[in-house]
A and B are shown apart, each in its own frame.
Chain A
Amino acid sequence: MTDQALITQFQNGESKEAAFTQLLKSHQAQVFFQIKKMVLEHADADDIAQAVWIKVWNKLDGFKQESAFSTWLFRVAYNETLNFIAQKKRLKTQSTQNELDHGLEHPASQDALKETAIQIKLERAIAELPEKQRFVFMLRYYNAFDYEKIAAITGTTVGGAKANYHQAVKKMTSMLEQA
């Protein structure tokens, strides 16, 4: 069944849960990994993804299908992720920021110790990218979304989305090249 048919089924009130579950099954992994690439922490990604899908459940009745469901879904995910990051930034004190920086430089966990220096550098570079650039880059590089779709998701122009992508690549490359 197509997304369109499932949405119509949901909006008509015919076995809403079944239609919603189908939509969830089709898109949840893609949305979750996009969010996780943004926030890195599994627990944070889980919280955001739950919030995204609850919002989808609450707002799907009013979705007019003027755009693809996936575009709308990623737009919800984009807004939720940015809200979460902004909230977290407000809560962070200078001392905790220093601890996090220290943690990135000297990873304590076994997995982190196994990582190569280049991977740590990349994570650091990704973390330092502005949220919009990071989101655009992940959508384009890992999900291969076209720029029209990315522009619709992030509320920018096609040119703006391309510029964001290139800026992200440039910054990450330069960070990796640094000794």
Chain B
Amino acid sequence: MSLINDMNDMNDMNDKENESISKALEEALKSFEAKTKQVSAGYFDQFELDLMQKIKAQKQTPKRAPIITLFLEHKQYLVAASLIFAIATGFLFFNNPEKNTTTIAKVELIEIETLPDELIEAYVNNNEPVAEVEWNSAIEAAGTNLISTNQ
């Protein structure tokens, strides 16, 4: 044990020898310490008061961390609940027959009402010959039928 102590002492002596510094530096370091050690009277008492006030204020401020922790702990349940809600809402919305009918009816109504007169006229003009042809064919067919019946 004493051998270890002796070795430690020798190490300390070696450290001190190695740490020898110039006189000029030593003097300057002394002045530097004196300068940095200048504080106003009662500074440390005031420091203590200020610090304890800060600590008390910190204690009174509500911490947000527990809420975040709670959210993180039950995150999977919140996600699952949101998904179920979204699926259920979507299912009800897309599978409501009344709503679908109303929507289609509304769309048809809107389409008819919003058709401009020019478009209707153009449609009639374009389709008139076709209608005539169809009408003539129908008369002819009826006439043929009459002839064959009379015969």
Q: Tell whether, in the assembled complex, residue A25 and residue B52 are in contact, meaning their CB atoms are under 8 Å apart.
A: no
Q: Tell whether, in the assembled complex, residue B24 and residue A142 are in contact, meaning their CB atoms are under 8 Å apart.
A: no
Contact partners of B54 in chain A: CB under 8 A: 50, 54
**8 Å CB contacts to A: which residues of B90-143?**
none
Q: Tell whether, in the assembled complex, residue B58 and residue A54 are in contact, meaning their CB atoms are under 8 Å apart.
A: yes
Q: Tell whether, in the assembled complex, residue B39 and residue A42 are in contact, meaning their CB atoms are under 8 Å apart.
A: yes
Chain B interface size, as a band, is 20 to 34
Chain A interface size, as a band, is 35 or more
Q: Tell whether, in the assembled complex, residue B15 and residue A50 are in contact, meaning their CB atoms are under 8 Å apart.
A: no
**8 Å CB contacts to A: which residues of B31-67?**
31-33, 35-37, 39, 44, 47-48, 50-52, 54-55, 58
Q: Tell whether, in the assembled complex, residue B36 and residue A54 are in contact, meaning their CB atoms are under 8 Å apart.
A: no
Q: Does B25 contact A (CB under 8 A)?
A: yes
Contact partners of A33 in chain B: CB under 8 A: 36-37
Contact partners of A141 in chain B: CB under 8 A: 29
Q: Tell whether, in the assembled complex, residue A126 and residue B32 are in contact, meaning their CB atoms are under 8 Å apart.
A: yes
CB distance from B147 to the nearest CB of A (A): 106
CB distance from A164 to the nearest CB of B (A): 12
Q: Does A119 contact B (CB under 8 A)?
A: yes
Q: Does B146 contact A (CB under 8 A)?
A: no
Interface string of A1-37 (1 = CB under 8 A from B): 0000000000000000100010011001100110011
Q: Tell whether, in the assembled complex, residue B51 and residue A54 are in contact, meaning their CB atoms are under 8 Å apart.
A: yes
Interface residues of A (CB under 8 A from B): 17, 21, 24-25, 28-29, 32-33, 36-37, 40, 42, 46, 49-50, 53-54, 57, 115-116, 118-119, 121-123, 126, 140-142, 147, 162, 165-166, 169, 172-173, 176-177
Given A50-B50, A118-B27, A122-B29, 9 extra CB contacts under 8 A: A24-B48, A28-B44, A50-B47, A119-B31, A162-B18, A169-B25, A173-B21, A173-B22, A176-B24
